[in-house]
Amino acid sequence: MPHDSRPKFLNLLAIRQPIGAVTSILHRLTGVLLFLLLPVAAWLLELSLRDPAGYARAAAWLEGTAGRAALLLLAWIVFHHLFAGIRFLLLDLDLGMELTAARRMAWVATLAAPLAALLFVGGVL
């Protein structure tokens, strides 16, 4: 039987990643999304500062269903990037380098972000 030198198909979605890898990937993704959403945030700020009618338009957009969903998504992006960034800073300081501590910190960063986003959008924070 000859050796097959063709490349193997590697389905990355079928591979179960550890929580640390998921947190790292999401941290990078949220960083890119924050960068890409800067023009939208600047536009909304400029619209709200232009005149009272612009402020009313920006406020109406943010108070609608799509606006609330966008705010919830943006809050999750910000909080996840913040919490994962703090986790990586602690790892850089050699804090939480043991496997169980690293996994625990990854779970905390990943699960605290949606909770903080819900509390923020709900007006609690």
Q: Which residue has the tokens 């960063």?
A: 109
- Name the residue among 62, 58, 31 with its Cα closest to residue 47: 58
Instruction: Give the C-alpha separation, 47 to 60, whole Å.
Output: 12
Triad 37, 42, 44: Cα angle to 5°: 95
Residue 81 assigned ligand-binding role: yes
| Residue list, annotated binding site for heme | 81
| Residue list, annotated binding site | 81
